[in-house]
Structure 1
Amino acid sequence: MSDSLSPGGLSAIKTLAARLNEERRAQLDIIAQLNDRTVTEEIRLANDAWIAKSKSGPAIKQRAAAVRAEIEREAATKRSAIEAIFEVPTSAARSTPRQDGLGGASVFMP
């Protein structure tokens, strides 16, 4: 897969290989020729149409909402973990002894 800048340098274009049987490829070649476009342009147009159709479907919208909710749950869990690791101790916590897990010795948080 290779990357290149689109005309105008606005965004990277990624190369995607698609495996087509000989009959399908021949049909695509003829359609491109009849439309005075390249095969790449025909594939892009078909892809754009498929994405537009898919985005408007209720099933994919429901799935997207579920995925978004899962992402938010995972982010909240990670955020809580980071806060627990790097939490700044309060003045009361600094003077409170805690067990260090090494033979029961108490240590004070600095």
Structure 2
Amino acid sequence: LGKSASAGILASACSPLAEKDAWGPLGKLRLNRSSCGQGPFYQTPFEAAYRDVAEQRNFRKLEALFVEADADGSGEMSLDEFRAALRKDHMQKSFSLLGVQPHQAEVVFKRMNKNN
């Protein structure tokens, strides 16, 4: 099929569904209705939601790592506690998976420190 023929088939398939709201509860998870026949078929609200969930999951992991790194249990982590945590193999691996390398400890800490 040529590009215009496939676009026509896609438009004819999307149009009746959009008119009748045939997507039902999946409408929020399926393709953005405005993309019917216009642009990539893979850019969906679902993908945006998936990215949000991944970010939240990474944030929770990072938060758990910081709680573990808070050696004195004060609820605040010092740069020394952060450096000490990054000397532990399992912490290095965990932080590394989140994009934080041991040699970046001071830079990362300063960017995240609300007191500076």
- After TM superposition, the score normalised by the length of structure 1 is 0.28
Between 1 and 2, higher relative CO (CA 8 Å, sep ≥ 6) is seen in: 2
Report which of the two has the higher share of helix.
2
Whichever of the two has the greater Rg, that structure is 1
Higher strand share: 1
| TM-score normalized by the length of structure 2 | 0.26
